[in-house]
Structures are given as structure tokens and as C-alpha cells.
Amino acid sequence: MLQKSSVWLWLRKALLQGGAFVLVFLVLSVALDEWRGRALPLASIPKTVYFDVEGNSVDLLALSREGLVVVYFWATWCGPCKVTSPSIKQLAKHYPVVTIAMASGGDDKLKRYFSNAAPSLVMVNDNSQTIAKQWGVQVTPTVLFVKNGAIAGHTIGASGYPGLRLRAWWAKN
């Protein structure tokens, strides 16, 4: 039978090890994001106006001057995007989201992928990956948090809603 003091010692050790694991995970995650995002234009975003799948013009520079805008580079063929896309739908309830689909087929295919999305979710089709090259995006999924014409934060790879919401909050403040 374990004594009370040995249970507390075991619990303390487990909490310390768990905390150390979380800290190492966070440091590695941020370092990996920074390494993967080294080609991103952090100082200022491209000043190009795009057209969404509905034919409407999308001026990300103007949108970012109104507040934080989430720019989501993804693809229909991307496995990790299947994890991140539902979180992006949720995030669109709080922030304007512009999705840019890389080499993913026709506009109808994109609309089906994000069916029942929030009204603030805008889809741009980048079949030739010209937009992705302008932005220095090489990996899907890539989520950029744009504010006042500059990238205020980013994450690259599969992301869940809590992490995206925290990064959006961080970029906004």
C-alpha cells in the first residue's frame, strides 16, 4: 500500500514531466512553424486583388486594415487539411476568412468541400498556384493571420480549433 506522501511525490513528478513535455512540444511546434514559414512575406503582404469562386473581388490588404483576417492555404487532396478545415469553418464565425485552394480543381469542387461554411468564408481558386508563390507558401495547410497589411502570425501543418483560436487572439493583440 502506498503512503500518502509517496502518492503526492508521484503526482508531483508526473505533473512536472507532463509540463516539461508540453513545453518542449510548444517550443518545437513554434520552431517548426518558423522554419517552414521562412519564405513568407512577413513585412507586407502582396498588394494584389483576387477573385473568389463567386466572381467577387477580394482585396486582402483593405480587409486587413479593418481588422484581423485569416488566410487559409489548402488543397482538396491534402490529408492534414481535412483536419484543419473544420476548425477554419469554426474560426470563420469570429474572423473573416479567405481560403485559397491550391491545385484543387474547379470552383464547384471547392464549394462542395466547404459546404455549409460560415458566410464570412471566402474561397479563391489558385489552380496554377500563382497566389501561393506570391505569398511564399509551399506547404498545405498554411494558416496566416494578417493585420494591417502584414502577417501577424502563422501556423503550418494540421491545426485544431483551440490552437488556431489562440494564434488568432495572439495575432490580433
Catalytic positions are 78, 81
Strand pairing report for 57-59 and 69-74: unpaired
Q: Are 91 and 120 in contact (CB under 8 A)?
A: no
Q: Which three cell numbers stand for residue 81?
A: 487539411
Residues 49 and 58 sit within 8 Å (Cβ to Cβ): yes
CA nearest to 42, candidates 126, 130, 145, 165 = 145
20 is written with which cell numbers? 516539461
Q: What's the chain's length in residues?
A: 173
d(CA 102, CA 147): 23
In the chain, what's the furthest Cα-to-Cα distance? 71
Residues in a beta bridge with 142: 73, 156
Nearest-10 crossing angle of helices 161-172, 79-91: 60
